[in-house]
Amino acid sequence: MNKKTIRDIDVHGKRALVRVDFNVPMDKATHRILDDTRIRAALPTIAYLREHGASVVLMSHLGRPDGKVVDDLRLAPIAARLAELLAVPVPCATDVAGPSAHAVVAAMKPGGVAMLENVRFERGEERDDPELAKQLAAFGDVYVNDAFGTAHRAHASTAGVAAYLPAVAGLLMEKEIDYLGRVVSDPVRPVVAIIGGAKISTKIGVLRHLLSKVDVLLVGGGMASTLLKAQGVDVGASLVEDGQLDDARAVVAEAASRGVGLALPQDAVVAERFAADAQPRTVGIDAVPPGWMILDVGPETVRAYEAKLAPAKTVVWNGPLGVAEWPAFAQGSVAVARFLAASPATVIIGGGETVALVTELGLAPKYAHVSTGGGASLEFLEGRTLPGVAALLDREPGR
């Protein structure tokens, strides 16, 4: 990575203003955190800063309050959970840049940790308002971005603050860029990508970009139906984006011209209706009954995909192969997840649904890297510049 990190600067005696991604799932009724993975992912950066003599002021968003104060989206429960994990108090301001925030930060001692209120309570956050960015910058001596999950957003707390403070990456940000960067720049071959999810329109750019990087591309999920229909396969009532058929044909043609092995489902688990309790049936991919829909890949496809994954040295997986939140239609994804957990390849998992699946299975520790960035990881794999990364200081040549 050619960006400076917290290891490249002296933070002793300084206040580090750290953008984290604590946008965790919450139970709306009880305000209980359902999954604290993203909080835990930031602990190494927080620990490093404290161990090196810095005090830590944290910024995060939660949900989509659209510039308004929404009590259900306050960060106090998250600060309380972080305090448990760190075993130190973590006071949380009741505003973003107002009197409470100033009082909480002013009361900090060296090595202390505090949290500002949900930055998206401020209208200027998503507008990348320079005035809000300047107000936030007043809380720190250095700026640390450790929120890869929001690095694709040019917001006041993800990019704007960098105009007013020295800006470097946290350890999680560094890890995300390093692992995903290997896929797009210098991977150990053979490289296999598994791309799934519902709509091909959201990932067409990723597919096209990966064709220049990978040796084999395996496709599943609803987006496979569009690719299949583009090749004349009758997919019944499956989700198909008819407006993307030309793009789908272009992907197939480009894969052939580049010599990339593009694999599509050979059989499928289908149902008459889109419901968790629908009765599943396994059929050949050319035998989908009229009015039925593809909701998962079948066992033949799993075996074929595993055969293509077996020799891989690097694997990147983004998006499930079926409707993974429903057990009857998650079996293809589950089988591949377990196969990869035993693989010696460097396996990188991305995308919210895929991450949720492997986490629920207890397999996340088995992979080289499980990304915290959904949209950010997709845009990175698409070759786009992420504003939150671009805003950080460049590392000097040779470092």
pLDDT digits (tens, 9 = 90+) for 111-149: 999 999 999 999 999 999 999 999 999 999 999 999 999
The residues, ordered by sequence, that sit 6+ positions from 26 with a Cβ below 8 Å of its Cβ are 32, 33, 34, 62, 72, 77
Residue 399: predicted pLDDT = 57
317-322-324 Cα angle (round to 5)? 85
Q: What is the model's pTM? A: 0.88
Token pair in block for residue 391: 């805003």
- Classified as helix, coil or strand, 314 is strand
Catalytic site residues? Answer: 38, 199, 352, 375
Handedness of CA 299, 219, 174, 371 (dihedral sign): negative
Could you tell me which residues are beta bridge partners of residue 192? 216, 315
DSSP string, 64-119: --TTS--GGG-SHHHHHHHHHHHTS---B-SSSSSHHHHHHHHT--TT-EEE---G
pLDDT reported for residue 373: 81
Q: What is the pLDDT of residue 316?
A: 94
Structure tokens at 258: 């580049």
Tokens of 128: 């990348």
Domains in the chain, ordered, with CATH?
Answer: 6-174 (3.40.50.1260), 187-381 (3.40.50.1260)
| Phi-psi category of residue 22: left, alpha or beta, with phi > 0 → left and psi -120 to 50 → alpha | alpha
Q: Could you tell me if 53 and 13 are in contact, meaning their C-beta atoms sit under 8 angstroms apart?
A: yes
> 35, 44, 16: which is closest to 113 by C-alpha?
16
Scanning the chain, the segments in alpha helix (DSSP H) are: 37-41, 43-51, 76-86, 99-106, 123-126, 130-137, 171-184, 204-210, 222-230, 245-258, 299-309, 331-341, 352-360, 375-381, 387-390
CA distance 356 to 198: 16
Beta carbons of 237 and 292 less than 8 angstroms apart: yes
- How many CB atoms sit inside 10 A of residue 12's CB? 10
Beta strand 267-271 with 281-284: parallel, antiparallel or unpaired?
A: antiparallel
CA distance 217 to 199: 16
pLDDT at 351: 84
φ, ψ of residue 58 to 5 degrees: the values are -100, 140
Residues of the chain with pLDDT under 70: 1, 397-399
Contacts 24+ apart (CB under 8 A), 222-225: 222/197, 222/198, 222/294, 223/195, 223/196, 223/197, 223/198, 223/199, 223/319, 224/196, 224/264, 224/265, 224/294, 224/297, 225/294
Residue entry with tokens 């992907």: 251
Is the distance from CB of 368 to CB of 179 less than 8 angstroms? yes
Q: How far is CA 264 from CA 14, 115, 163, 320, in A?
A: 53, 47, 46, 14
pLDDT of the residue at 384: 85
- Which of 68, 78, 135 shows the shortest CA–CA distance to 102? 135
CB atoms within 10 A of CB 213: 19
What is the distance between the alpha carbons of residues 233 and 258, in angstroms, rounded to a whole number?
Answer: 23
Predicted local distance difference test score (pLDDT) of residue 196: 94
Find, among 148, 121, 162, the residue nearest to 17 by Cα.
Answer: 162
| Separation of alpha carbons 230 and 262, rounded Å | 14
Site of tokens 């499980």: 370
Place of tokens 């599509």: 264
pLDDT attached to residue 312: 98
Say which residues have a Cβ less than 8 Å from residue 107's Cβ, sequence separation at least 6: 91, 114
What pLDDT score was predicted for residue 329?
Answer: 97
